[in-house]
Chain A
Amino acid sequence: MNRLSSRAWRAYRTVTRWPVRAVRRWRSSLQLRVLTTTMLLGLVAVALIGTVLSQRISADLFERRTTEVLQEAARATVQMRSNFDASATRTGPEITEMFLYSGRQSLLTGSADRSVFLLRSPGPLPPVLVNDFVSNEALRSLITPELRAATADAEGGQRWQSVAIPRDQSDPTAVTPGIIVGSTVQVNIAGQYELYFLFPLAAEQEVLGFVQRTMAIGGVLLVALLVAMTWLVTTQTVRPVRTAARVAERLADGHLTERMHVRGQDEMATLARSFNEMAESLQDQIERMEQLGALQRTFVSDVSHELRTPMTTVRIAAEVLYAAREEFPPALHRSAELLSTQLDRFEELLADLLEISRFDAGAAVLDAERRDVRDVVASAVDTVSALAERRGSWLSVEFPERATYVDLDPRRVERILRNLLVNAIEHADGTDVEVTVGVDERAVAICVRDYGVGLSQEAAEHVFDRFWRADKARARTTGGTGLGLAISREDAHLHGGWLEAWGRSGLGANFRLTLPRRAGIQLTGSPLPLVPDNPMPAAPALPTQTDESAVGRGLDPAAIPDLDRLEAR
């Protein structure tokens, strides 16, 4: 990955990270969830109540005003009718004059801002034609044909319609609600006219607006109050829970004396008390386990001492008898020999038992130093070369070309290798035993391969079990305690390494030890395969095999770890 793309990647990560963080926060904080829920529910409730209230109020205001307006319009209509009836106009200009007078008069009385329209009803033309009276020409279009038709059909009764009065010509949304009330009047010789009054509801609209604003502010304040109260309550509830969580964490980290502070008698105090009781019993349990562990270690140490002293006496006595065996009759002679050899075996078993109980008690300590793994392997091979010669097995060792330094406890690793080698030679039945050392940047692997009777798959799984024997009937000629491989595996684990076995009946077995090159490296893989790709004894210079081992041994320049270069300086 080049620099640019890595930077882009980082930017992308930063962008994508905050929703992730938000989700994590949401999931992790009960308080946040409760607060958000409360706020949302509060807002919905306030909005619902506000809408209903505001609708009720506006309906009520409108109804009242409508009643008023209808009464006022009726009064004005009666007034105008009486004016028209009383007048004795005969000509068009006289009627126009009367229209003007009546219209102005009705504009002056009653509620302000109302408009008056006196429109001639459609129908056959009367003898005298008089112009309509319109107090506000701009609003004339508000009188819809439907209203006019309804008014004409009402035969003197009132018809009304609510309309939106534009406040500003340029802005069609700026409107004031209004009511138009219509009725008919008869004019001498001029025929039937329709009289319309337009009442704007600006005052009511203002009242409604004020009420709505007040309710909105009240609603917001109410929600804020609700959230604040919820925050207070949840904080009071959540804080002890948080404290409990923190204390539990401290307990989990091994601070066993950590306790919660108990205050009062409420539920939280009960929680704290129960929590403390739990911590108390936990501490008791752990302390008891620790004591048991310490007891176990002391026991092992005591058994070790108590067994070793009589063992020494027996050992010395046996040696004295053994040294004098030539003077004994044959039966005693043989007995002395058996006593001596079996004591050796007994001693080995005792040593192995003590070693494994040291692992069990957690008393085993890694005594690591930086060593060339080739030296350790060579030294282990040296100790078993005599045995290999006796059993007629050839030992071959493949090393990496350069020094490979690994942090290891040489005593333990040599013990593992010695165990694997003795095992392999014992089961090789005179065939070859191959040791391969592979290395990469993080790990070193040592494989011990034999081509003897082999292990069944089931046996390969159990071979590290204590006192497990592949074949219960098989005579153990070179002895062995049955604990060797179990100890070896513990030794490998103590290094943070692996010890694994592969086997097939008749094809031999492969044991692989993988160790991290430095303390603290977590093993993720091994430089050598566990399952060998040459199940039969290797023919010399098999091409695939050399390729494989070349990579495994780090001959490929790309595979040469930096560690080596540092070491070489």
Chain B
Amino acid sequence: MKGRVLVVDDDVALAEMIGIVLRSEGFEPTFCAHGDEALDAFRAASPDLVLLDLMLPGKDGIEVCRLIRAESGVPIVMLTAKSDTVDVVLGLESGADDYISKPFKPKELIARVRARLRRTGDPAPEHLLIGDLEIDVTGHRVLRDGVPISLTPLEFDLLVALARKPTHVFTREVLLEKVWGYRHAADTRLVNVHVQRLRSKIEPDPENPVIVLTVRGVGYKAGPPDG
């Protein structure tokens, strides 16, 4: 499916260029050039995906990301000119699902956008159990004792990927491919940050995880279903 994409970038030329590329691929871009107006633009456009520049006038990208994440689980892809560790991790921790560092090629951009808009899951109803959680894959819901837990689509995908093969150990590289859609080696910090975020939402005690377990030196696996 094609979707609406909100491009938040203060560089008008780049925004326009991104718009041209997105339109040529059938997406509907809308634009916002100021950090302070980003949230209003987001509410007005209700996009399926947000492309967010880290450096913005007014509120910076990190702040905007936090605000959007506070009210929606919509996929957010950061555009960053800084590949320095701190900025990327800060952006991911504030709720971004993925990032592209400038300069990027249009194909790369489209691939990232497609990967985030792609709907996972089979049409057949599917129910998974992991720990004390119940996952309704088709309904895109996670329930604990019948109470739904709010997850972003990416966190949901991550959890489903782990829960489909309980006790199977996934390396970070495999998870990058399955959940983020990377074909070649990429930044494994993406996985680390999102596992932390997921745990903070689903684990009864995030310090001692029982649902998403770390396998030291290898990667992650799902804990066994209860009872």
Contacts and interface: CB of A to CB of B under 8 A. Distances in A.
Interface of A: 301, 304-305, 308-313, 315-317, 319-320, 347
Given A313-B14, A317-B17, A320-B20, 16 more contacts: A301-B82, A305-B81, A308-B81, A309-B102, A310-B11, A312-B17, A312-B102, A313-B11, A313-B13, A315-B104, A316-B20, A316-B21, A316-B105, A319-B106, A320-B21, A320-B24
B57 to A, nearest CB: 13
B11 A309 contact: yes
Contacts of A315: 103-105
Contacts of B107: 319
Contacts of B24: 320
Contacts of B55: 305
B84 interface: yes
A417 to B, nearest CB: 17
Interface hub of B21, B84, B105 (most chain A Cβ within 10 A)? B105
B18 interface: yes
Contacts of A311: 102-103
Contacts of A320: 17, 20-21, 24, 106
Interface in B102-133: 102-107, 109
Contacts of A317: 17
Contacts of A309: 11, 14, 81, 102
Contacts of B105: 315-316, 319
Contacts of A301: 82, 84
A353 B55 CA distance: 22
Contacts of B102: 308-309, 311-312
A556 B106 CA distance: 55
Interface in B10-50: 11, 13-14, 17-18, 20-21, 24
Contacts of B11: 309-310, 313
A347 B101 CA distance: 13
Interface in B68-95: 81-82, 84
> How many interface residues does chain B have, given as a range?
10 to 19
Contact of A305 (B20, B82, B109): B82
Nearest to B13: A313
Nearest to A363: B84
A304 B24 CA distance: 29
Interface of B: 11, 13-14, 17-18, 20-21, 24, 55, 81-82, 84, 102-107, 109
Contacts of B106: 316, 319-320
A316 B18 contact: yes
Contacts of B81: 304-305, 308-309
Given A305-B55, A308-B103, A310-B11, A316 B17 contact: yes
Interface hub of A301, A304, A311, A316 (most chain B Cβ within 10 A)? A316
14 contacts: A305-B82, A309-B11, A309-B14, A309-B81, A310-B13, A310-B14, A312-B14, A312-B104, A313-B13, A315-B103, A316-B18, A316-B105, A316-B109, A347-B103
Nearest to B15: A313
B192 to A, nearest CB: 14
B35 to A, nearest CB: 15
A326 to B, nearest CB: 15
A299 B83 CA distance: 15
Nearest to A317: B17
Nearest to A358: B84
A545 B14 CA distance: 59
A17 to B, nearest CB: 50
Nearest to A367: B85
Contacts of A319: 105-107
A409 to B, nearest CB: 13
Contacts of B82: 301, 304-305
Contacts of B104: 312, 315-316
A312 B84 contact: no
A312 B80 CA distance: 11
B55 to A, nearest CB: 6
A356 to B, nearest CB: 15
Contacts of B14: 309-310, 312-313, 316
A481 B152 CA distance: 43
Nearest to A354: B83
A220 B118 CA distance: 103
A316 B82 CA distance: 18
A308 B13 CA distance: 13
A304 B107 CA distance: 22
A301 B87 CA distance: 12
A320 B13 CA distance: 14
Contacts of B13: 310, 313
B17 A313 contact: yes
A328 B106 CA distance: 20
A383 to B, nearest CB: 12
A317 B16 CA distance: 10
Given A301-B84, A305-B81, A312 B103 contact: yes
Contacts of A308: 81, 102-103
A317 B13 CA distance: 10
Contacts of B84: 301
Contacts of A310: 11, 13-14
Nearest to B87: A301
A411 B118 CA distance: 32
A197 B36 CA distance: 132
A315 B17 CA distance: 10
A39 B80 CA distance: 77
Contacts of A305: 55, 81-82
Interface hub of B14, B24, B55 (most chain A Cβ within 10 A)? B14
A310 B11 CA distance: 8
Contacts of A347: 103
Nearest to A347: B103
A191 B106 CA distance: 153
Nearest to A305: B81
A312 B12 CA distance: 12
A305 B20 CA distance: 22
A520 B106 CA distance: 44
A309 B33 CA distance: 14
Contacts of B21: 316, 320
